[in-house]
Amino acid sequence: MSEVPVLNVSGLRNADPADRRRVAQALGAACRGPGFFLVTGHGIAPAIVQGMFAAARALFGQPQPARDALSIRRSPHNRGYVALDEEQLDPTKPADRKEAFNIGLDLPPDDPEVLAGRPFRGVNLWPDLPGFRAATLAHFEAAWALGRLLHRGFALDLELPEDWFEDKLDRPIATLRLLRYPAAGGQAAPLGAGAHTDYGNVTVLATDGVPGLEVKRRNGGWEEVPHVPGAFVCNIGDCLMRWTNGVYASTPHRVRAPAAERFSAAFFLDPNPDAVVAALPSCIGPDNPPRWPPISGAANLKEKLDATYAHRRAREGG
């Protein structure tokens, strides 16, 4: 039986505080337990998800030179295209068999933070594809809204004011990552994505139904995350684990090389760059003193990304 619960979060929008608290308690149990949960009742229209997947298929269907022209190597802000074998999430395994495309908060070139060159405050790199920008930004906005809604539940569970996270997520370092995993082709193949934990607060993942995502059980072994049509797969990242002083747990997960081509879209919600991530009072006690020093949202993500891309530089002899 799956350890990953299916949670209807529509009650977080109800006027009755008891309804909101009931959902918050279920979220808290999932965050303390498997660290993964499936979300229904999210209110995101299927057409938004379908439009995003159509845009992803169009992007990854472009000739390789067109994709390479948007390389993430052109951006110091974690935006753009990642080619097959370019990342290695598990340094003990071969490079990941996936390609990806990242977009972030869509800021204009004259935004003061862009002009100042602040970390993770760059412009997006856009392919020359009709409707791509509108479709992906619609999904970005919808997943961002869902992520903020989940944080209202987290806040209630953590004995905070319900809107405590809101001003820490209003200009977040959020990334929508479109992903394509080629079919394994019946041969032994490297993992689509090596075992890792996510870096931010919470991940909101849309999948196309092709199996592949596996989560590590707390007592050992790997479990395939079930597919529930219309549901999003959500999981806790390292930043929220740090914020909750380890009360909420990020969980290692991986993607097997799929039998058929697989598409997914991960929305990674990190806090605002200047948000201070420090152990919450309700998560500190005699048996659980602060485990990590305070850190900014930007410094936390930079630390994680530097480690990931150090493996790439090492492989390339750089």
Answer whether residue 1 is part of any domain.
no
The identity of residue 2, as a single letter, is S
Check if the beta carbon of residue 268 is closer than 8 Å to that of residue 177.
Answer: yes
Answer whether residue 116 is part of any domain.
yes
pLDDT in tens, 4-55: 999 999 999 999 999 999 999 999 999 999 999 999 999 999 999 999 999 9
Number of residues assigned to the chain: 318
Check if the beta carbon of residue 84 is closer than 8 Å to that of residue 98.
Answer: yes
| φ/ψ (deg, to 5) at 284 | -115, 140
Mean pLDDT to the nearest integer, 116-121: 91
Q: What is the pLDDT of residue 309?
A: 64
pLDDT in tens, 147-164: 999 999 999 999 999 999
pLDDT in tens, 180-189: 999 987 666 6
Question: Taking the mean position of all CA atoms in its chain, how far away is CA 223?
Answer: 19
Residues 6+ apart with CB under 8 A from 252: 195, 196, 197, 215, 216
Task: Report the chain's C-alpha Rg in angstroms.
Answer: 19
- As a whole number, the mean pLDDT across the chain is 93
Q: What is the pLDDT of residue 146?
A: 98
Domain of 140 in residue numbering reads as: 6-315
Residue whose structure tokens are 């750089």: 318
Answer whether residue 303 is part of any domain.
yes
Question: Residue 196 maps to which CATH number?
Answer: 2.60.120.330
Answer whether residue 243 is part of any domain.
yes
Answer whether residue 294 is part of any domain.
yes
| 83, pLDDT greater than 60 | yes
Q: What is the pLDDT of residue 318?
A: 46
Q: What is the pLDDT of residue 186?
A: 64
> What would the two tokens of residue 284 be?
């500190």
For the chain, the domain total comes to 1
Check if the beta carbon of residue 192 is closer than 8 Å to that of residue 220.
Answer: no
Answer whether residue 164 is part of any domain.
yes
| φ/ψ (deg, to 5) at 27 | -60, -45
The 3-class SS string of the chain reads: CCCCCEEECHHHHCCCHHHHHHHHHHHHHHHHCCCEEEEECCCCCHHHHHHHHHHHHHHHCCCHHHHHCCEHHHCCCCCEEECCCCCCCCCCCCCCCCEEEEEECCCCCCCHHHHCCCCCCCCCCCCCCCCHHHHHHHHHHHHHHHHHHHHHHHHHHCCCCCCCCHHHCCCCEEEEEEEEECCCCCCCCCCCEEEECCCCCEEEEEECCCCCEEEECCCCCEEECCCCCCCEEEEECHHHHHHCCCCCCCCCEEECCCCCCEEEEEEEEECCCCCEECCCHHHCECCECCCCCCEEHHHHHHHHHHHHHHHHHHHCCC
> What would the two tokens of residue 116 be?
């100042």
Mean pLDDT to the nearest integer, 222-231: 95
Distance CA 15, CA 13 (A): 7
Q: What percent of the chain has pLDDT over 70?
A: 95
What separation, in Å, do the N-terminal and C-terminal C-alpha atoms of the chain show?
Answer: 46
